[in-house]
Amino acid sequence: MTDQPHASAAPSVPPTGADLSSVTVGNGPRRVVFIHGLMGRGRNFTGVAKALGGEFSVHLVDLPDHGLSPWTDHVDYREIADRVAAHLRADFAADGPVHVLGHSMGGKVAMVLALRHPDLVDRLVVVDIAPRLSPNATGQFSHLLGTMLAMDLDSLQTRADADAAMAEQVPDERIRAFLLQNLRRDHGRFVWQANVEMLRENLAAVGAFPEPVVEEDPDRVFDHPVLWLGGADSDYIQDKDVPQMKAMFPRVVRVMVRGASHWVHADQPAAFVSAVEAFLTAED
């Protein structure tokens, strides 16, 4: 697959997960799927995957409209979860359930996946997100994605040019690097690999949580162990979210990581790995 397969992509894709891009790190007996957040990609978790060590096989998935996966024309968490489920059934989870970890938007995908396809999920880790409308869903990310779309990509010669062009609107160097990972060359010019315009237009759906998650069984719960891992300096998980989280995931345990913002795995990687490893290797 080329670095930029989306320039002439059709606006919609069939309801299958076979074409989602993914890579597996390690070959240990414990299998876990990592699902990234908005504007991320599977390989963002490569360092964490390697740090988990030889006990784990870590499957890093690119969600639709991100990384090397195909583009779509809208955002629906139920459809995304069904596509991830089809992807896992075809290969990584063909022999039985696997652990699933999702961060931010990926955490919502992971929750919906567990509720709609509980046979695929052993233990669930939800990182710094709650099953509700997320704070800053349209504000911060509307600004960030709007900045990306406003850039004159044809004028850029190097990635340094892109960084400089974004610096005034996005002064945080780490956030710029995160966004600019989506910049790719296609036939000599820079393009956005992620479906930035569609995602910006659908930020309300990105920030929301589907209701009901399972149409034929709106009161369904996922009764396996769940780790709800948040950043102590983030407002994406609040005390008021606990009743709703426990209603869907009655065996949930909430852990807040000190010194971590919304990007828990980047702010406190050692604490993040330690918490995830301890949870995924614990006895029931």
Candidates 66, 99, 117, 262; catalytic one:
262
Q: Length of the chain, please?
A: 284
Beta strands in the chain (DSSP E): 22-25, 30-35, 56-61, 98-103, 121-127, 183-186, 189-192, 226-231, 252-257
Distance CA 106, CA 125 (A): 10
Which of 55, 74, 155, 197 is catalytic? The answer is 197
Per annotation, catalytic residue among 69, 104, 134, 234 = 104
Q: How far apart are CA 12 and CA 234, in angstroms?
A: 34
Active site residue 103: no
Residue spans of alpha helices (H) in 168-234: 173-180, 196-201, 203-207
Provide the 8-state DSSP code for 8: T
Burial of 241 (0-12, 13-18, 19+ CB in 10 A): middle
User: Does the annotation mark 187 as catalytic?
Assistant: no
Residue 262 is a catalytic residue: yes
Angle at 46 between CA 17 and CA 248, to 5 degrees: 55
Residues designated catalytic = 104, 197, 262
